[in-house]
């Protein structure tokens, strides 16, 4: 199963509230018509101090495989529906795509009442793609999974096929689910995160390129 992140930014003419309302109430039902999608979740950014991502949210869709992804790109429901509607609420000059595969470390249910912190990551120049992926999975993953308070933890790794064409902007997205914003604040100052997990992140991630935000999921296709 492929997991596609589509990081989006609202049109400057829309207020934050109008953007999120349109995305949920108008765009969501349009996307629901696309047969190739196995799952579709909107991740709406919520206020949180220290977020450095330029995006207002991420559309996350799951498709069966690369053939289904190619079919999606030709689908009239996508081309004439969802894609045609995007300029109505998205700043099309400020978007980013990433096709990934999920690696689940804590398999808690992704309840819509939870909040999710996402980190878009790029390895340090000294790591090859294979070595960076191996370190993230085998070394860093278990360290993060031990952080108290996490309800779900998934690493979404950029698919290997993407590296055949060019070096992707990110090697993947770390996703951490917690009960609420207050729990995120507690996690960030917990020594298990700050002094262990975050200290390990510095060992393999290019910290100058990391981007993060906190959001809440709105499931459209469960």
SS3 111: coil
Instruction: Name the token pair of 109.
Output: 């249910």
CB proximity list for 88: less than 8 A, separation 6 or greater: 11, 22, 26, 27
pLDDT at position 157, please? 98
pTM of the predicted structure, to 2 decimals: 0.95
pLDDT at position 50, please? 84
CB proximity list for 217: less than 8 A, separation 6 or greater: 41, 42, 43, 44, 110, 112, 114, 116
Is residue 79 within 8 A of residue 12, CB to CB? The reply is no
Which backbone phi and psi does 221 adopt, to 5 degrees?
Answer: -115, 100
Q: Domains for the chain: give ranges and CATH numbers.
A: 2-221 (3.30.70.100)
Rg of the chain taking only CA atoms, in angstroms? 17
pLDDT at position 165, please? 85
pLDDT at position 168, please? 95
Give the rounded distance of the alpha carbon of 17 from its chain centre. Answer: 21
Is residue 100 within 8 A of residue 5, CB to CB? The reply is yes
SS3 55: coil
Mean pLDDT by 10 residues, the chain (222 residues): 98 97 98 96 95 95 95 95 98 97 97 96 96 98 98 98 93 98 97 97 96 97 93
Element (H, E) at 13: none
Distance CA 208, CA 191 (A): 22
């Amino acid at each position: 199963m492929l997991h596609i992140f589509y990081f989006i930014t609202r049109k400057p003419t829309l207020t934050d509230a109008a953007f999120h309302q349109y995305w949920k109430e108008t765009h969501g039902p349009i996307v629901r018509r696309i047969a190739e999608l196995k799952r579709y979740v909107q991740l709406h950014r919520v206020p949180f101090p220290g977020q450095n991502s330029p995006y207002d949210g991420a559309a996350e869709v799951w498709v069966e495989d690369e053939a289904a992804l190619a079919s999606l790109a030709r689908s009239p429901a996508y081309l004439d529906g969802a894609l045609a509607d995007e300029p109505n609420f998205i700043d099309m000059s400020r978007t980013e795509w990433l096709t990934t595969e999920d690696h689940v470390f804590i398999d808690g249910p992704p309840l819509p009442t939870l909040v999710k912190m996402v980190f878009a990551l790029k390895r340090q120049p000294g790591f090859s793609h294979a070595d960076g992926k191996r370190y993230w999975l085998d070394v860093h993953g278990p360290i993060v999974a031990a952080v108290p308070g996490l309800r779900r933890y998934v690493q979404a790794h950029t698919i290997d096929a993407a590296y055949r064409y060019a070096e992707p902007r990110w090697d993947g997205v770390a996703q951490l689910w917690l009960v609420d914003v207050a729990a995120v604040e507690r996690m960030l100052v917990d020594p298990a995160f700050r002094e262990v997990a975050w200290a390990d992140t510095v060992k393999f991630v290019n910290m100058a390129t990391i981007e993060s935000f906190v959001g809440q999921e709105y499931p459209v296709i469960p």
